[in-house]
Chain A
Amino acid sequence: MLRLELYKIFRRPRTYISFLIMTAVTLLIQVAMYVDGTSFVSFAMQGVGEQFAISGNILNGYLVTYLVLQSLLVHIPLLVALVAGDVLAGEANMGTMRLLLTKPVTRNNVVLVKYIASIAYAMLLLVWLAVVGLGLSLLVFGTGDMINLKSDAFIMLLENDIMWRYMLAFAFAGLAMATVAALAVFLSVFADNSIGPIIGTMGVIVVLTIFSNLEIPLFNLVKPYLFTTHMIAWKGFFDDPVPYDAIMKSVMVLVVYIVLFISATMVIFNRKDIQS
Chain B
Amino acid sequence: MIRKLKSGLVLVMMFCSLAANAQQDTATALFEKLRTRLDVIKDYVADVRIKIDVSFMKVPPLSGKLYFKAPDKMKLERNGGISILPKKNINLTLNSMFPVGGVTVIDAGTDVVNGKAVRIIKVVPEGESDIILTKIWVDEQRNLALRTETTTRDNGTVKMDLAFDKHIKQGLPDKVTVHLDVKEYKLPKGVTMDYDANERVRAADKGDKKNKKGKIEINYINYEVNKGLPDKIFAEKD
Contacts and interface: CB of A to CB of B under 8 A. Distances in A.
Contacts of A145: 78, 81-82
Interface residues of B, number: 37
Nearest to A220: B199
B190 interface: yes
B187 A47 contact: yes
Nearest to B59: A156
A144 B182 contact: no
A55 B82 contact: yes
Contacts of A57: 80-82
A232 B186 contact: no
Contacts of A155: 57-59
Interface of B: 56-60, 62, 76, 78, 80-88, 180, 182-183, 185-195, 197-198, 201-202, 205, 209
Contacts of B82: 54-58, 144-145, 147, 156
A37 to B, nearest CB: 14
Interface residues of A, number: 42
Interface of A: 47-48, 50-58, 70, 142-145, 147, 149-159, 161, 213, 215, 232-236, 239-240, 243, 245-247
A82 to B, nearest CB: 23
30 contacts: A47-B186, A48-B185, A51-B86, A52-B86, A53-B83, A53-B84, A53-B88, A55-B76, A56-B83, A57-B82, A142-B80, A150-B192, A151-B189, A151-B192, A152-B202, A152-B205, A152-B209, A153-B56, A154-B56, A154-B57, A156-B57, A156-B82, A156-B84, A213-B190, A232-B193, A232-B195, A235-B193, A239-B58, A243-B201, A247-B197
A235 to B, nearest CB: 4
B86 A156 contact: no
A42 to B, nearest CB: 14
Contacts of B193: 70, 213, 232, 235
Contacts of A240: 58, 60
